[in-house]
Amino acid sequence: MRRLEDIEEVCEDIRREYPTMPWRRIVGLRNVVVHHYFGVDLSVVWVIVSSQLEELNEEIEKIIEKEC
């Protein structure tokens, strides 16, 4: 969850340089989970975590390696 929080702080230059990253969706998911907007459907969270989070994490790691 901490990494999802960090995404919100990513500067606009980085967001523009990597436009294929689903920045808004990432921040939106984080906000829903953290603030429990309309309740959290754990089955939806599980699908996201089990099918998309690993790939997303790999892409974020690549960005960090390149930018830092």
The catalytic site residues sit at 30, 35
Query: What is the DSSP code (8-state) at residue 22?
Result: -
Report the alpha-carbon distance of residue 32 to residue 40 in Å, rounded.
Answer: 7
In this structure, what token pair is assigned to residue 36? 């429990």
Helix 53-67 and helix 42-51: axis angle, to 10°? 50
